[in-house]
Structure 1
Amino acid sequence: MIEEKKNRSPTVIVIDDDESVREALRGLFESVGLIAETHGSVKEFVAADDPEKAGCIVLDIRLPGQSGLEFQEALAQSDLPRSVVLISAHVDVAMAVRAMKAGAIDVLTKPVREQDLLEAVNRAIANDAVRRLERTTKATIQTSYTSLTERERQIMALVIAGKLNKQIAAELQLAEPTVKLHRGHMMQKMKATSVAHLVKMAEGLKGCRGLS
């Protein structure tokens, strides 16, 4: 049970080539009840990473091999972006702008004030939680959409376009009671509580066959 709880708790991953910095940050995060793990390089982190692990990354900008900034940009372009707080002893304006454009939660200069770092990490963890919830919700909606019949998908597309049952019936050359039946099944499968709810869910289905 303890291990299961630990796996569900957000983890702060520290990537810094300075061991003293890594251990100091581990101590800071653990002192406020956060789980922390540390790595000395991007390569070391990638070898051990579990992308499904919730939390955030505290990343030194200047690292041997692939720099922290380059790695953050790569993460931002991946299928599973991560929430990143960047730290460095030397941060210029261009570097900070580049990092923020790539989605960094914050860019902090070493020596980092503990409170500033903890606040940035808390924002990063919250950002990660929202993103993961959105991804889970989208996957659920896509699964529901996949369960629809071709006719139910046609009707769904017309419903979210604002068409009334009688208009849908005329367009699909169906009896209105038949449209109502298919529409009811579609709404149940999509777990939609209203047309407005269905429209909102459809926003995450752009590109699916039957929807524009």
Structure 2
Amino acid sequence: MPPTAPTPAMRILLIEDDELLASGLQQAFAKAGYETDHLGAAEPALQALSHRRHDLAIVDIGLPGMDGLELLRRLRGRGDRIPVLVLTARDGLDDRVRGLNDGADDYLIKPFLLPELLARMQALIRRSLSAATSRLALGPLVLDVATREATLGGQPLAFTAREWDLVHLLVLNAPAVVPKRRLADSLGRWDREITDNAVEIYVSRLRAKLQGTGLEVRTVRGIGYRLDL
């Protein structure tokens, strides 16, 4: 299932010097419901991010002049917490770690598939909004992160502690796939590991509670799970 359309007011700043790629992405983002501003260099991007509110920045590392990592360092250095997704043709582990250490929220290696890019964008924006409001919403399901309470269609929905952790992680990343190992690590505690079989049990319980709501926990074989609307 393709990613659901975001709120129309969501605005993206695309910083990419490849004009052909940028044009294609702008068209795809418009179809997905985003408003997009495009710049081909880092210096004007710093100015744009100072004067106009964007919900997400997509930054190519290989920019002319100041590269994308230096732009990222300057953004974080002045306290700008805008979510940043880095695009890079560099697939080495050191390059990816460096980008995350410099303040990137996520990265995607070129060439990439458009559905994955859209899913990662939506997840980053959702995380940013939840940090600001303490509320997460996906269709009829609303999570209050501060109180760890949930409602479904306006009605209270009870979760155990681990069911809450599971649904929170799935909603936070929807519609992207969350690897089973990551779910196991998140559901575990420092004194007790969670097995893959235990994850499957919690997923089964969550599916039962969401049955008939339009929300579905889908299995992506060999990878993990995603929450679809």
In which range does the TM-score fall when normalised by the shorter chain?
0.5 to 0.7
SS in structure 2 opposite 1:64? Answer: coil
Structure 2 match to 1:71:
71
Number of aligned residue pairs: give it.
Answer: 127
Q: Provide the C-alpha distance between the structure 2 equivalents of 1:22 and 1:9, rounded to a whole number of angstroms.
A: 20
Unaligned runs of 5+ in 1: 1-7, 135-212
Structure 2 length-normalised TM: 0.51
Structure 1 match to 2:98:
98
Unaligned runs of 5+ in 2: 1-7, 135-229
Map of 1:131-170 to 2, 5 A cutoff?
A: 131-133=131-133
Q: Provide the C-alpha distance between the structure 2 equivalents of 1:41 and 1:132, rounded to a whole number of angstroms.
A: 29
Structure 1 length-normalised TM: 0.54
- After superposition, the CA RMSD in angstroms is 2.1
Contact kept, 8 Å, 1:10 with 1:35, in 2: the verdict is yes
Task: Give the C-alpha shift of residue 88 in structure 1.
Answer: 1.6
Structure 2 match to 1:119:
119
Contact kept, 8 Å, 2:46 with 2:71, in 1: the verdict is no
Map of 1:10-89 to 2, 5 A cutoff?
A: 10-50=10-50, 53-89=53-89
SS in structure 2 opposite 1:49? Answer: helix
Task: Give the C-alpha shift of residue 12 in structure 1.
Answer: 1.2
> Judging changes above 3 Å, is the alpha-carbon distance between structure 1 residues 23 and 64 closer, same or farther for their aligned structure 2 residues?
same
Contact kept, 8 Å, 2:46 with 2:75, in 1: the verdict is no
Contact kept, 8 Å, 2:11 with 2:37, in 1: the verdict is yes
Q: Provide the C-alpha distance between the structure 2 equivalents of 1:61 and 1:112, rounded to a whole number of angstroms.
A: 15
**Between structures 1 and 2, the one with greater helix share:** 1
Amino acid at match of 1:38: H
Task: Give the C-alpha shift of residue 91 in structure 1.
Answer: 2.8
> Which structure has the larger Rg over C-alpha atoms?
1
Amino acid at match of 2:123: R
**Between structures 1 and 2, the one with greater strand share:** 2
Percent sequence identity over aligned pairs: 24
